[in-house]
Structure 1
Amino acid sequence: MNSLQDAIYNWLTIKVVVDERPEDTAAVDTKALFEEILADEHGVQVPEVKTDEQMYYVSLEKNGEDKTYRFPRDLIEVMIDQINGEPEKYPNYPEE
């Protein structure tokens, strides 16, 4: 993962999916992977997320500094919108 902003974007996108589909094992595993990337590559623990009608705001601490990143809702929610629009393409495969 190149930048912290990219890592947060990827984590937040899949977090939104997991929040709506907590039984989706692939999404849960992917979220955990991005949390490892945030921790291992960027030294960031799970950030705080707030939202309003237009944006997601992700707050975190890195190297003693508080930082906030913001992302448009439509950019972050594109994956869950796609899943909800064509659920037959995104089945949940149970763990074996």
Structure 2
Amino acid sequence: MNLQDALYNWLSIKVVHEARTDDKAALDTYEFFTTILTEDHRLENIEVEIVDPMYIVHYVKEGQQEQKQFPIDLIEALLEQIQSEPKYN
């Protein structure tokens, strides 16, 4: 999985996990993608900032500070889908 996709998936499920703290599947998935970022892509110091209309993910890779940006509506789409599905609520 490339870094862009891994960050997108990690951030999407991070938002879900933070909104649904009792959701074990969300926690497990968040931990899975955190492992991909830290072990496969060797990211460190991963932090998230919201600057409307974007989520900005800051991280260190190979000693260099880097960042990626994602539209808020794209990242929060997974949470909205889960919340709109009655069987998950």
Say if 1:47 and 1:59, in contact at 8 Å, map to a contact too.
yes
Aligned residues: 89
- CA distance in 1: counterparts of 2:9 and 2:21, whole angstroms: 17
Runs of 4+ residues over 6 Å off in structure 1: none
- CA distance in 2: counterparts of 1:9 and 1:65, whole angstroms: 20
1:5 offset after TM fit, Å? 1.2
Tell me, which stretches of 5 or more residues in structure 1 are unaligned? 92-96
- CA distance in 2: counterparts of 1:35 and 1:41, whole angstroms: 10
Say if 1:18 and 1:24, in contact at 8 Å, map to a contact too.
yes
Describe the superposition over 1:31-82 as per-residue Cα deviations: whole angstroms up to 9, x where unpaired: 0000111111100135100002211000000001110100001110011011
The structure whose residues are more often strand, as a share, is 2
Aligned counterparts, 1:6-85, within 5 A: 6-45=5-44, 47-85=46-84
Q: Secondary structure at the match of 1:38?
A: helix
Alignment of 1:89 with 2:72, yes or no, is: no
Question: TM-score scaled by structure 2?
Answer: 0.93
Tell me, which stretches of 5 or more residues in structure 2 are unaligned? none
Question: TM-score scaled by structure 1?
Answer: 0.86
Structure with greater Cα Rg: 1
Question: What's the RMSD between the two structures over aligned residues?
Answer: 1.2
